[in-house]
Amino acid sequence: MTIGDLRASLDQDTLGRQLYECVADLYPICRSITGNGVRETLRRVRHLVPLSVHEVPSGTQVFDWTVPLEWNVRDAYVKNSRGERIIDFRHSNLHVLNYSTPVRKRMSLDQLRPHLFTLPDLPDWIPYRTSYYTESWGFCLSHRQLDTLKDGEYEVCIDSSLEPGSLTYGECYLPGDSTDEVLISCHICHPSLANDNLSGVAIAAHLGQFLGRVSLRYSYRLLFIPGTIGSITWLARSEPVVPRIRHGLVLACLGDAGVFTYKKSRRGDAIIDRAVVHVLRQLGDHEVAEFSPYGYDERQFCSPGFNLPVGRLSRTPHGRFPEYHTSADDLDFVSPAKLAASFAACLAILDVIENDRTYMSRNQKCEPQLGKRGIYHAIGGLAHSPVNEMVILWVLNLADGQHSLLDIAERSGLRFDEVRRAVDLLRDHGLLKEAS
Amino acid sequence: MTIGDLRASLDQDTLGRQLYECVADLYPICRSITGNGVRETLRRVRHLVPLSVHEVPSGTQVFDWTVPLEWNVRDAYVKNSRGERIIDFRHSNLHVLNYSTPVRKRMSLDQLRPHLFTLPDLPDWIPYRTSYYTESWGFCLSHRQLDTLKDGEYEVCIDSSLEPGSLTYGECYLPGDSTDEVLISCHICHPSLANDNLSGVAIAAHLGQFLGRVSLRYSYRLLFIPGTIGSITWLARSEPVVPRIRHGLVLACLGDAGVFTYKKSRRGDAIIDRAVVHVLRQLGDHEVAEFSPYGYDERQFCSPGFNLPVGRLSRTPHGRFPEYHTSADDLDFVSPAKLAASFAACLAILDVIENDRTYMSRNQKCEPQLGKRGIYHAIGGLAHSPVNEMVILWVLNLADGQHSLLDIAERSGLRFDEVRRAVDLLRDHGLLKEAS
Amino acid sequence: MTIGDLRASLDQDTLGRQLYECVADLYPICRSITGNGVRETLRRVRHLVPLSVHEVPSGTQVFDWTVPLEWNVRDAYVKNSRGERIIDFRHSNLHVLNYSTPVRKRMSLDQLRPHLFTLPDLPDWIPYRTSYYTESWGFCLSHRQLDTLKDGEYEVCIDSSLEPGSLTYGECYLPGDSTDEVLISCHICHPSLANDNLSGVAIAAHLGQFLGRVSLRYSYRLLFIPGTIGSITWLARSEPVVPRIRHGLVLACLGDAGVFTYKKSRRGDAIIDRAVVHVLRQLGDHEVAEFSPYGYDERQFCSPGFNLPVGRLSRTPHGRFPEYHTSADDLDFVSPAKLAASFAACLAILDVIENDRTYMSRNQKCEPQLGKRGIYHAIGGLAHSPVNEMVILWVLNLADGQHSLLDIAERSGLRFDEVRRAVDLLRDHGLLKEAS
């Protein structure tokens, strides 16, 4: 089975349900860049896809960075003077400032206030905040709730630990015919946020599951890593692998209702850039952004010393939807249909990558005589359709060993799929050979 | 005499009449890709231009193709039960399906119907149909006539022959100073269709006649060939000639009232492409199409193994006028004025090609002093016209041995003719030399 | 002190006054391509900037040209029959055709008429006319005055001399760290015309004065030369210097109220071209023109044998304002504010040129950890401003030894100044080194 067969057999409804269930299953877990939340997440992803789970000890030097202490939190709350939990980690793990140091104290509201984070402009939502590299503690809550807090004494508790441990990430390697690799990466460090990035995690996990069933030209490497420190750690530990990466995608924010946005690799004209643009153009409205050094782990993959051909596929990009990094990025913000469509777009892109080969027509001088081979007739029922004849003529004309299928699709304005079907037909008739 | 002198002396009215008469003279002949119609056509073209006529035997292998049997038709008709010729080859040679096998039979209308071809959407016109490579017979007629046919017995006769013979084409070689060649090609295989392509045949023939009278930088090769199989046959038999071809044009559909359309060579940026675009821009409204592997014999000239710098000049391109391949492409569809203007455009293009040389200013460092040479004054009456001074300054500034005259015209936005006149003036004053 | 410090300390009002006073001081002098007017002009420029004054004897061969005889004029007038000076050189030096041969004659109006030049369409203004290379004499006057002239006898006097002497030009060389040079050139040959080109002279002189006070990366060469023959003479005498010129600007017409116009060098993509376009884009409305071989001394600097990276900065270009080459190009036509803004634009451009270096991030693989170095905080008060963080990330991402600061600014869409400040910060933190 090939990716093409897989695409043809895909039931979008079923797939959408599976992806959404995966997001919903992972949603309650309190994740961070280290700790048991990541481990539990990877344990569940492992049900879908074979995963090596790596533990990198705190203090390990990775390029200019150091793997931080491991953070875990068991409980966190603020109680009012009547002993009621008015802010409660058990209701939402966003309430605790991610990477908060342990604290257990009584204090006045004024003493507490500098540790409380809200979004005055979005007063109903709890913000998501982190303090990975500066020791601190705090609580996040809705601005509306903050307004209701009365003076008086509060009991503050964060039952967390920040201790030597390890950074955990998952890696799935699916060998293909070639040791050349396609890299798929998603960040797994955000707690209860659905679009950012359980959408990416669910899609990457299912890609791994599906790709495991098909014959692959490239080998695939799927990374489930904490953002920034995770990609830096992986790159530092995987330098021998890096030169094999031919194409790559960072997957993030793929479950919301927005149109697709593709952010190009730093190279700007890599095959992955052209393949994604080609596929998205056929899928309808979309946006293409030039590379910029802000965003997700493409920042590290595209740092100058690596400059990998890795772009990022999203729907609405980070920071451009109000729900971004708030409690409103919840299970209602993502939908089975959009998750399934994102998954299908990924498969369509990989289908291009897998099939983008270069051919030579066996008749370089003048067209071959198609009539005597019954080829016009062979093209489905549309024996006399000029479209199909045009595809065949384009392929024969550009099959000079210099133009890949994607080149042909781009120059002719035809769809990659059409070009590929014509190539298959012509190859079956002995009219094409692969260029060496 | 040069092409420039020729252009200056051209009387468009006389020329238009000559071209139109040539079209009208050739119109009644029943042509096909082989046979006596082609021979008779070449015999008449030979009155205008010296032509080698080649006969290539049926069965000759030419690349992936085989020269077909020769087809000739003497008469063809369908008679009704009263013995009246209701479809009659003598009225229009389009009535017979081109390459019909011989037939002489009586049959019912229902038996006849699968052999009748009409255009339901253009009910007054007879379509032009062929069946070169699948043995078949048939008649073409107007849809309106088909509707009048009554049940009953019909007598069907096609007095044709399909036998070993040869494929005939004409070739005219006009030697110039250089053995580098300009190729002009037109297809001569269509029966009574005026625009497609007696317009091209008449213009090519007259180009040959006129070019025979002038001093030429390039050698010119004019081909009068059946479409597809003719160019394939010529290419297969002329491989040693092919590397000498520096520029080329396929001429087709040049007599209708549409604006010029130039279809670029596969290279897209060949000198012929740039020269034609430059000339058409000055002639007014026109269209430029990128290369595509459909159309006339540019398909073969631009096949990957040749990839010749050959574009196609047309007015309304094939398939974009309703009269295309119907009886309405008749002598009313083309006009002397449009034929003459097409001829003039061809000459203007060849004038660019002939004169596109590269010069070196003898004063590479700083401008030469034009005043002391009286050059401002020398430029016609417009002694102080900034336009003429600008042309001179552009030529001097870009005459660095790297820019051809066409380069200079393109960069400066000036007309090629203006640039050339400035070059002549400066060369006469010893300020330019041709770059080696 | 650097150019940047200089820019920061500039008082535009004071500077505008100084530039305007310089223009006003030089305005009354009768200049030409040779003679005492040029000498007196250079004597005054020398108060601002150290100048070598060169005298090149008449008759010296400079490439295709010959240094002309030296022209001087003491007085010139036309007297009517009552002995009244009706045209008087003492009122405006534009009245005398520049380079007029001496004349002292009585003649009728009809005899005089061929020697009178006016602007019928701009009847109140006196035109500026020259006859450098054809011996002739004449007077320029307003068309309105011409209309009042009555028949009768006139006394004509031009007390001029046209004799072997020399061509005079000034050159200021300001050594910098490198012997690579920046060329600044202005023409000093026009008599009482303020915008064309005392504006350019005043700005060049003050640039010299200010650059003399700062540390320079490049050496600077300022030329105060007569148009055309001056640049040709300088180039002919300075060929060993020419290969050191890395960037250059011709300054002309910089005091009027129009927006900036930059005319690119013949190369079109030289660093000076990109630097000027980058700076002007930030200054607001402006025009960018492609190179053309007409205009001022860029014609010679960009002749094919030199092809120097020299563009031209103007406001409204020559010939595009009606006051051009008339008495209306006077001290009211230029303003202190526009002169000062032009000067500031020149400094901004030179600031880019001086600082356009190429760096290597010391962390080629993955981003450095900025947090641990307190860099976010270090960037002024805007510790969390995404803009500043973005600038830093862009610099780090493109500091690969292949991208200059100007490249980074262009690709990121950021301002050169911002990029440079980020570079300074990162270099201070040891995160960047200059590429070798």
Write out the DSSP string of C362-395. S--SS---SGGGTHHHHSTT-TT-HHHHHHHHHH
Q: What whole-number distance in Å separates Cα of residue B68 and Cα of residue B66?
A: 6
CA of B338: how far to CAs of B14, B18, B250, B260, in Å? 13, 12, 17, 10
β-pair partners for A55: A168
Question: Which residue in the set B62, B65, B303 is minimally distant from A364, CB to CB?
Answer: B303
User: Using one digit for the tens of pLDDT, what is the confidence trace for B248-304?
Assistant: 999 999 999 999 999 999 999 999 999 999 999 999 999 999 999 999 999 999 999
Asked if the Cβ–Cβ distance from B266 to A397 is below 8 Å, we say yes
Question: Which residue in the set C228, C266, C303 is minimally distant from B365, CB to CB?
Answer: C303
Asked if the Cβ–Cβ distance from A134 to C363 is below 8 Å, we say no
- Assess contact for B34 and B164: CB atoms under 8 A: no
* Ramachandran category for residue C316: left, alpha or beta (phi over 0 → left; psi -120 to 50 → alpha): beta
Asked if the Cβ–Cβ distance from B366 to C64 is below 8 Å, we say yes
Question: Which residue in the set C389, C400, C412 is minimally distant from A304, CB to CB?
Answer: C400
Nearest to B349 by CA among B14, B3, B9, B12: B3
Which residues in chain B are contacts of A372 at CB distance < 8 A?
133
User: Which pLDDT value is given to residue C375?
Assistant: 81
User: Which pLDDT value is given to residue A318?
Assistant: 87
User: Which pLDDT value is given to residue A377?
Assistant: 53
β-pair partners for C333: none
Beta-carbon pairs below 8 A across chains B and C: 65
Asked if the Cβ–Cβ distance from B63 to A361 is below 8 Å, we say no
**Rounded average pLDDT over B314-325:** 93
User: Which pLDDT value is given to residue C241?
Assistant: 97
Q: HSE-up of A5 (CA within 13 Å, CB side)?
A: 8
User: Which pLDDT value is given to residue B384?
Assistant: 46
Q: What is the DSSP letter of B102?
A: P
The C-alpha of A261 sits at a distance from chain C's nearest C-alpha, in angstroms, of 19
Residue with tokens 């490439």: C63
User: Which pLDDT value is given to residue C382?
Assistant: 38
Asked if the Cβ–Cβ distance from B366 to C294 is below 8 Å, we say no
- Assess contact for B203 and B250: CB atoms under 8 A: no
Strands (E), B282-324: 286-289, 310-314
Can you tell me the ipTM of this complex? 0.94
pLDDT by residue for chain A (436 residues), tens only, comes to 999 999 999 999 999 999 999 999 999 999 999 999 999 999 999 999 999 999 999 999 999 999 999 999 999 999 999 999 999 999 999 999 999 999 999 999 999 999 999 999 999 999 999 999 889 999 999 999 999 999 999 999 999 999 999 999 999 999 999 999 999 999 999 999 999 999 999 999 999 999 999 999 999 999 999 999 999 999 999 999 999 999 999 999 999 999 999 999 999 999 999 999 999 999 999 999 999 999 999 999 999 999 999 999 999 998 899 999 999 999 999 999 999 999 999 999 999 999 999 999 999 999 999 988 888 655 443 344 444 889 999 999 999 999 999 999 999 999 999 999 999 999 999 999 999 8
The C-alpha of C246 sits at a distance from chain A's nearest C-alpha, in angstroms, of 28
* Ramachandran category for residue B83: left, alpha or beta (phi over 0 → left; psi -120 to 50 → alpha): left
Nearest CA in chain C to B394: C293
Asked if the Cβ–Cβ distance from C305 to B364 is below 8 Å, we say yes
Nearest CA in chain A to B267: A398
Residue with tokens 């081109």: B98
Asked if the Cβ–Cβ distance from A64 to C397 is below 8 Å, we say no
- Assess contact for A33 and A167: CB atoms under 8 A: yes
User: Which pLDDT value is given to residue C388?
Assistant: 82
Strands (E), A264-314: 286-289, 310-314
Residue B14 above 50 pLDDT?
Answer: yes
Asked if the Cβ–Cβ distance from C292 to B390 is below 8 Å, we say yes
For C110, residues 6+ apart whose C-beta sits below 8 A from its C-beta are C151
Which residues in chain C are contacts of A302 at CB distance < 8 A?
397
Nearest CA in chain B to C267: B398
Task: Give the pairing type, strands B286-289 and B260-263.
Answer: parallel
β-pair partners for A400: A360
For A158-169, the DSSP string reads EEEEEES-EEEE
Asked if the Cβ–Cβ distance from A304 to C364 is below 8 Å, we say yes
Which residues in chain A are contacts of B294 at CB distance < 8 A?
386, 389-390, 393
- Mutate one of B302, B303, B306 to test the A interface: name it (highest A CB count within 10 A): B303
Q: What whole-number distance in Å separates Cα of residue C199 and Cα of residue C252?
A: 7
Residues of chain C with pLDDT under 50: 379-387
- Assess contact for B272 and B209: CB atoms under 8 A: no
Nearest CA in chain B to A412: B292
Q: What whole-number distance in Å separates Cα of residue B133 and Cα of residue C173?
A: 82
Interface residues from chain B to A (CB-CB < 8 Å) = 62-65, 133-134, 228, 231-232, 235-236, 266, 292-294, 299-300, 302-307
Asked if the Cβ–Cβ distance from C367 to A300 is below 8 Å, we say yes
Q: Which amino acid appears at position C357 of this protein?
A: R
Q: What whole-number distance in Å separates Cα of residue B344 and Cα of residue A137?
A: 85
Asked if the Cβ–Cβ distance from B305 to A365 is below 8 Å, we say yes
